[in-house]
Structure 1
Amino acid sequence: MAQTRTFSLRSLRGQLTLWFSGLSLLTLLCVGLYVGRLATQQMAASAGAAVHAMALTAADLLGAGLREREQDIILLSQAPHFTRGDLTHPDLLPSLLRRRALSEEFAWLGVVDPQGKVIQAVDGLLQGQSVAQRPWFIAARSGVYAGDVHEALLLEKMLPKPPDGEPLRFIDFAAPIRDYSGELVGVVGAHIHWRWVTQTVQTAFDQSARDSGAEILITNAQGIVLYPQKLAHQVQLPAELHTDRNQRTTEVRWDDGLDYLTSMVAVDSRTSRNLGWSIVVRQPLHQALEPAHAMRNRLLALGFLAALAFGAVALRLALSFSRPIEQLAEAAHRIENGDSQADFPEKGQLIEVDQLCQSLRSMTRTLLAHERELEAVNQSLEALVQQRTEALEEANRALEHLATHDPLTGVYNRRRFDDKLRECFDAARRTSQGFAVLLLDADHFKKVNDTYGHPTGDTVLQELARLLTGTIRSVDFVARYGGEEFVILLPHTPDGASAMAVAEKARWAIAQAEFPGPGHITVSVGISVWQADDPGAAATIERADAALYQAKAAGRNRVVLG
């Protein structure tokens, strides 16, 4: 009678179970740790890229805004009714009021005589008082000035307190006013609300970033935090951020003892004076990597559960594989004890197992060989498909550019402008938020072609396109309308005053520029603003064209609102 065998780790059944369970557990743990590590690295890289993108966007927006505010003050100081020298002239105050109406960030605008007395100012603030000791006035007597943030001194009691309870702070811009002989006749100065700076920066900071614990900071040239107010003059930048003011995302330990994903980008305002500001975005490292850590823990838990399942399966398999060998061992033991009647396993039982193992090994080798061949073929096909896809995408981008851009000037073409105009018209009809169209024509351009040749004329058109692109806002749209005509589409511009300001800015920049061949040229500009009763987008263009005709008829080099 065969003996009943108990389970033992030294038996074949126990060894198979132990090795199957141990190897499966080790494999799954290694895979879980490796996948978790890869996920952590990828999550850190992704979060770091998002942090750097926010810092870069905020720095670009703030730099462009500062540059535009300085250009506004420079244009005011060079306006004809300022440079005449009569700072009491009644036309000066309406100009200041119109400029403030266009941008709510201006808290104060005024003109000051060479001795520092405020002659005219919006809302009469500081009018008649002396600002001779203010740094912006002293610096602006000799050139354009852009000043760092400071708290209000003279204006603190005259302006309402911010609703958030923060101190009233400003940044200053000023420019000298000189007459036609170059003599200083005064200074035009402006105080811009600090909240405009913070709101500009916050536009790059969406709700998902706030939910993930990210913070955006503004620092000055000395590394002192200017914003947010709760951290101002309290948080010190880590030492590694002082060495490089343009640093991609890195893991940095701050003075609160926590590690942050941190990116720092210098604000390039290209103003007359570099303020030395930087944008710093930081996110707690543990919050950035929290999803990766959670996934790693889930993988480890699944690994333990899978190991238990593999152990149970291994025990069952070991039992079926070990039974014929146990029978053979029992038969050998009985023979050793002199039992000639020992029962051997049925004839062919071990051979069948052996053949099955051999067949399985052979089949596995064959399948693995086929799999390697298929994998090589798939890799080759994937590489070929990737190459063809990239080539097709590149060709599509090139075709898209050719279809939407003017080949000579590089700006958008008439066809793309028509599409954009229809989009603005449809949006205006839905939201009642208007837009404006500026139609510009180079004065006496035929004379340029006839005198200097068409190559020079082409160069002049290219320079015109460059100047127009450089003087408009980032949301505006420039296209070549045909020949020497260009068109500018101003979204979100419901009134003629705003459009006139943009048109005058462009007309003045072109009149002051130096062109190859003719030297100086001028443009005539016709403006039209969308009206609610316009039957179609063509009506807006027709009014702009009629206004352009009036500008030409009135002597050219002027702007007419249709």
Structure 2
Amino acid sequence: MPMPRTLPHPRDFSLGAWLALAFTLLSVLLTVLLTVFSDRAASAQVRASIGANLAELANQTSSRLDRSMFERYREVRLIAGRLQGNADLPQVRREIDALQQSYPLYAWIGVTDAAGTVLTATRSMLEGVDVSTRPWFRHALDDRHMGDVHEALLLERLMGRPGDEPLRFVDIAFPLSDAAGQTTGVLGVHLSWNWSSEIQDAIFVSVGRSRTVEPLIVSATGLVLLGPPGVQGTVLQLPSLEAAGRGERGHVTETWPDGRPYLVGYSRDAGFDAYPGLGWRVLVRQALDEAYAPVNQLHQRMLLGGLAAAVLFSLLGWLVARQITRPLLDLTDVARGIEAGYAVKAPATAAYREVDTLGKAFNSLVKSLQDNEAELRQSHAALERRVSERTAELREAFDDVRANEERVQTVIDTAQEAFIGMDFEGRITDWNAQAEKLFGWKRFEVLGESLADTILPERYQPAFVQALVHFLTTREAPFTGQRIERTVIDRHGREMVVEMKISLINTAEVQLFSAFVRPVGGPR
């Protein structure tokens, strides 16, 4: 009967096998981590680049709108300047016809009188019609020369629709005046909104993006003036529009009313030169899955590259592991040479033959380290003794200082004369038992109180304050070091003459006046 096969014990594997397995696992792990991190970093960069491109397209579109509108604004302003004071209607007709021929997207050009009646116009349309209630006429008189996009009301019946879309115009109008400065009429121009499609084609078709990238021009009120079918003519409320309305430029990912997520670049017209702008906001959107298609391709390439790198590193790990195990027995003698500085004791193990051999060398090394540790312990004990001795010396010195302070305080308390201490602010800092008897105030009652208010008659207090201020200002104290007589009062207000000798202590640690006081006569 055949014996059942048992699984090999881990100790049966050589160090080379374990190292090869470790190299393989580590190489796979590192490759996966590097792939994930690099993929995230690259993906973030690609996403940011795609968004920046859309933001740049929006910025280019808004700049092109501003410059193109400025050209129209300047042309109409120049014609208005040439027509100032010109009452020759045939000449005016020739001027406006020439302007329309130079730029056919001027759908209608007309000149009115001061009351708003059209005097002459291209193709004679609306001549004799009262347009005084039209916004462009009223705005021109108020020096507001630009009007936002609007549908044609009067001209659509005369010009007809070129397709399914209604006629839409942008108004440009300037007032006319005579030599005396009196308003004689208004020059009005209706610029066809088809002009915006030319700008769209110039920017987007030329770079091959018209299929997936969709531009939108939105008015200040949120009305889509130009955009894809289903969106044009609607009112939008989106974070990108709010950001563009604040004058910001950038890109954002957001969900639109159709329920689809889009990557949207946004910008806002800022005017150009004399043209003030109309507050238009430009959005350039692209469906999120289409915009980030390069990112998905990058994911696939990074994954395939990571797998290839993992296989390559695994093969290299096996080769390196075979090279490492061969010299390990030779390194055993080298390990014995580091006994003087390496205090690690190798655990007893039979996992690998190589580890067992190295363990014996390290155990010998540990013995040497233990000897060094004993010497270190002795040095540490000697250091502790020195610290204890120094601490005892410091404690003895501190006790001497404290005893000296107690002796000084005892002398003051047992003195036969009253002793008073005062700081440089005039507050009492010391008051012995004789002072209590002389003045009637207990020590705890006067400490911290004003000396002048406590023992000086009111008539002498100003002089005391002046003397203290003089000292604090000049650091001169002529009243110290000599016996002087002064009139003082006790607790009950009774005056008496006392003799005192004032001393000054002025160091970094102590700053005070002190005096021994004795009466020289009875109460007055």
TM-score using structure 2 length: 0.55
Q: Which has the larger radius of gyration?
A: 2
Aligned length: 322
When residues 142 and 278 of structure 1 are mapped into structure 2, their CA distance, relative to the original with a 3 A threshold, is: same
| Aligned counterpart, 1:27 | 30
| Aligned counterpart, 1:459 | none
Q: Residues 66 and 271 of structure 1 are in contact (CA less than 8 Å); yes or no, is this contact kept in structure 2?
A: no
Query: What aligned pairs does 1:165-204 form with structure 2 within 5 A after superposition?
Result: 165-204=164-203
| Aligned counterpart, 2:265 | 262
| Aligned counterpart, 2:281 | 278
Higher strand share: 2
- What's the RMSD between the two structures over aligned residues? 3.3
When residues 259 and 22 of structure 1 are mapped into structure 2, their CA distance, relative to the original with a 3 A threshold, is: farther
When residues 14 and 205 of structure 1 are mapped into structure 2, their CA distance, relative to the original with a 3 A threshold, is: same
The 1-side partners of 2:276 and 2:178 are apart by 24
Q: Does 1:135 find its partner at 2:135?
A: yes
The 2-side partners of 1:212 and 1:30 are apart by 38
Q: CA deviation at 1:286?
A: 3.7
When residues 313 and 240 of structure 1 are mapped into structure 2, their CA distance, relative to the original with a 3 A threshold, is: closer
Q: Residues 170 and 192 of structure 1 are in contact (CA less than 8 Å); yes or no, is this contact kept in structure 2?
A: yes
Q: CA deviation at 1:107?
A: 0.3
The 2-side partners of 1:8 and 1:129 are apart by 106
Tell me which of 50, 61, 68 is aligned to 2:71.
Answer: 68
Q: CA deviation at 1:204?
A: 2.5
Unaligned runs of 5+ in 1: 327-344, 352-562
When residues 305 and 235 of structure 1 are mapped into structure 2, their CA distance, relative to the original with a 3 A threshold, is: farther
Q: Residues 243 and 249 of structure 2 are in contact (CA less than 8 Å); yes or no, is this contact kept in structure 1?
A: no
User: Is the partner of 1:167 in helix, strand or coil?
Assistant: coil
Query: What aligned pairs does 1:244-259 form with structure 2 within 5 A after superposition?
Result: 244-245=244-245, 246-255=247-256, 256-259=259-262
Q: CA deviation at 1:207?
A: 4.9
Q: Which amino acid aligns with 1:25?
A: V
Q: Which amino acid aligns with 1:65?
A: S
Q: CA deviation at 1:154?
A: 0.8
Q: Which amino acid aligns with 2:166?
A: P
Query: What aligned pairs does 1:395-406 form with structure 2 within 5 A after superposition?
Result: none
Q: CA deviation at 1:127?
A: 1.7
Q: Residues 55 and 279 of structure 1 are in contact (CA less than 8 Å); yes or no, is this contact kept in structure 2?
A: yes
The 1-side partners of 2:274 and 2:196 are apart by 15
When residues 314 and 7 of structure 1 are mapped into structure 2, their CA distance, relative to the original with a 3 A threshold, is: farther
| Aligned counterpart, 2:93 | 93
User: Is the partner of 2:165 in helix, strand or coil?
Assistant: coil
When residues 8 and 53 of structure 1 are mapped into structure 2, their CA distance, relative to the original with a 3 A threshold, is: farther
User: Is the partner of 1:262 in helix, strand or coil?
Assistant: strand
CA deviation profile, 1:55-89 (whole Å, cap 9, x unmatched): 2221111112212212222222221xx33352x53
CA deviation profile, 1:236-285 (whole Å, cap 9, x unmatched): 24235414533232323132351414222334245566421121223344
When residues 122 and 270 of structure 1 are mapped into structure 2, their CA distance, relative to the original with a 3 A threshold, is: same
User: Is the partner of 1:177 in helix, strand or coil?
Assistant: strand
Q: CA deviation at 1:91?
A: 1.0
Q: Residues 110 and 121 of structure 1 are in contact (CA less than 8 Å); yes or no, is this contact kept in structure 2?
A: yes
Q: Residues 58 and 265 of structure 2 are in contact (CA less than 8 Å); yes or no, is this contact kept in structure 1?
A: no
| Aligned counterpart, 1:83 | 84
Q: Which amino acid aligns with 2:85?
A: R
When residues 251 and 84 of structure 1 are mapped into structure 2, their CA distance, relative to the original with a 3 A threshold, is: closer
Q: CA deviation at 1:146?
A: 0.9
Q: Residues 28 and 303 of structure 1 are in contact (CA less than 8 Å); yes or no, is this contact kept in structure 2?
A: yes
User: Is the partner of 1:200 in helix, strand or coil?
Assistant: helix
The 2-side partners of 1:229 and 1:311 are apart by 54
| Aligned counterpart, 2:19 | 16
Q: Residues 112 and 118 of structure 1 are in contact (CA less than 8 Å); yes or no, is this contact kept in structure 2?
A: yes
Q: Which amino acid aligns with 2:297?
A: A
The 1-side partners of 2:235 and 2:85 are apart by 50
Q: CA deviation at 1:223?
A: 2.5
Query: What aligned pairs does 1:501-540 form with structure 2 within 5 A after superposition?
Result: none
User: Is the partner of 1:78 in helix, strand or coil?
Assistant: helix
The 1-side partners of 2:275 and 2:50 are apart by 35
The 1-side partners of 2:145 and 2:285 are apart by 32
Q: CA deviation at 1:234?
A: 3.6
Q: CA deviation at 1:27?
A: 1.3
| Aligned counterpart, 1:112 | 112
When residues 241 and 161 of structure 1 are mapped into structure 2, their CA distance, relative to the original with a 3 A threshold, is: closer
CA deviation profile, 1:393-444 (whole Å, cap 9, x unmatched): xxxxxxxxxxxxxxxxxxxxxxxxxxxxxxxxxxxxxxxxxxxxxxxxxxxx
When residues 114 and 282 of structure 1 are mapped into structure 2, their CA distance, relative to the original with a 3 A threshold, is: same
When residues 301 and 229 of structure 1 are mapped into structure 2, their CA distance, relative to the original with a 3 A threshold, is: closer
Q: Residues 216 and 228 of structure 2 are in contact (CA less than 8 Å); yes or no, is this contact kept in structure 1?
A: no
Q: Which amino acid aligns with 1:282?
A: R
Q: CA deviation at 1:317?
A: 6.2
Tell me which of 306, 311, 317 is aligned to 2:309.
Answer: 306
Q: Which amino acid aligns with 2:193?
A: W
When residues 243 and 35 of structure 1 are mapped into structure 2, their CA distance, relative to the original with a 3 A threshold, is: closer
Unaligned runs of 5+ in 2: 330-352, 359-524
| Aligned counterpart, 2:158 | 158
Q: Residues 136 and 172 of structure 1 are in contact (CA less than 8 Å); yes or no, is this contact kept in structure 2?
A: yes
TM-score using structure 1 length: 0.51
Q: CA deviation at 1:35?
A: 2.0
| Aligned counterpart, 2:428 | none
When residues 248 and 157 of structure 1 are mapped into structure 2, their CA distance, relative to the original with a 3 A threshold, is: same
